[in-house]
Amino acid sequence: MRDKKLFQLTLTAVFVTIILTMSLLPQIGFITVMPGVSVTLVHIPVIVGVFLLDRRNAIILGFFMGLGSLMASYIYGATAFDLAFQLPWISVLPRMLFAWLAFEIVQLFKTIETIKLGKIILFGLVSLVTLFALFYGSKAIVTANAWAEYNTKQAEMVSLRSEADSIEDDKPIEALALRAEALVIELNLPTLSEEATNREAKVLNITTPLVLLLSVLFLVVYYWFIEKHQGSFVFIPSSFILATVIHTVLVLATVAIFKPAIFSAGFTDVISIIYGIAMTNGLMEALAAVLIGTPIIVGILNYTRRELI
CATH of the domain at 196: 1.10.1760.20
Please tell me which residue, 288 or 307, carries the higher pLDDT value: 288
Q: What is the mean pLDDT of residues 27-50?
A: 74
Q: Which residues pair with 37 in a beta bridge?
A: 34
pLDDT in tens, 275-296: 555 555 666 777 777 778 777 8
Res 251 pLDDT > 80: yes
Distances, alpha carbon 119 to alpha carbons 152, 238, 268, in Å = 47, 10, 37
Cα separation, 290 vs 217, in Å, equals 14
pLDDT digits (tens, 9 = 90+) for 198-247: 888 887 788 778 777 877 777 777 777 666 665 567 788 778 888 887 88
Contact present, 98 and 62 (Cβ < 8 Å): yes
Residue 295's domain comprises 2-308
Q: How many structural domains comprise the chain?
A: 1
pTM above 0.75, yes or no: no
Whose CA is closest to 288, among 232, 239, 240?
240
Are the beta carbons of 86 and 68 closer than 8 angstroms?
Answer: no
How far is residue 274's CA from residue 283's CA, in Å, rounded to a whole number? 13
**Rounded to 5°, angle at Cα 281 from 40 and 122:** 95
- 282-302: string of b/e by CB count within 10 Å (b at 16+)? bbebbbbbbeebbebbbeeee
